[in-house]
Structure 1
């Protein structure tokens, strides 16, 4: 399938995302904060990146803004924040999609399959 990066500070959610993506055939790299996430995205731009909004060192919006020009694959923001304004911030930062937590693994798989069929946001 390709490569994926998960940038998520919650250990349980990060592991769940890693498992779901691995089951979909992705080779997965992970990071628990924004700075490490930016480093991974810079070193190995993935086919798919899942970025949590609420990271301990910076907002996920900043991660996407700093790396969108490097990542030719899809970038998806994940957050418990469900307000339309939060989603718009993610899209304005360069994300292709904004998904809210909680989610079920099956639902996430189906949504990600649909997302990767769309054109990538051109933030470059």
Structure 2
């Protein structure tokens, strides 16, 4: 082998060593990016899990509210009916009181008139 052949071989070996070094650096970069991607996947999984829990919680609350709201509406309707009935009863009691007061006053006036007649009759006798 000649010097030129040896130089060619050395050149090829140097080129291969340089390429191998570049390939190793690319592999190292790829491993680093894979580690970062793996961490991001774990973070994304955690976020997804939290979102799933939040959705489940909101769905459960929504179901509860869907049960409560009709009951509240029914309760409000019953209260409105009862309020109307109580108002009507109060108004009737007021009318009854006024009528009782009127008849009581009339009865008292009649009794007073009778008493006056009896008193006047007793004094005349």
Interval of TM-score (by shorter of Structure 1 and Structure 2): under 0.3
Query: Relative contact order (C-alpha < 8 Å, sep 6+): which is higher?
Result: 1
Task: Output the TM-score relative to the length of structure 1.
Answer: 0.13
Task: Output the TM-score relative to the length of structure 2.
Answer: 0.13
Structure label with greater radius of gyration: 2
Structure richer in helix, relative to its length:
2
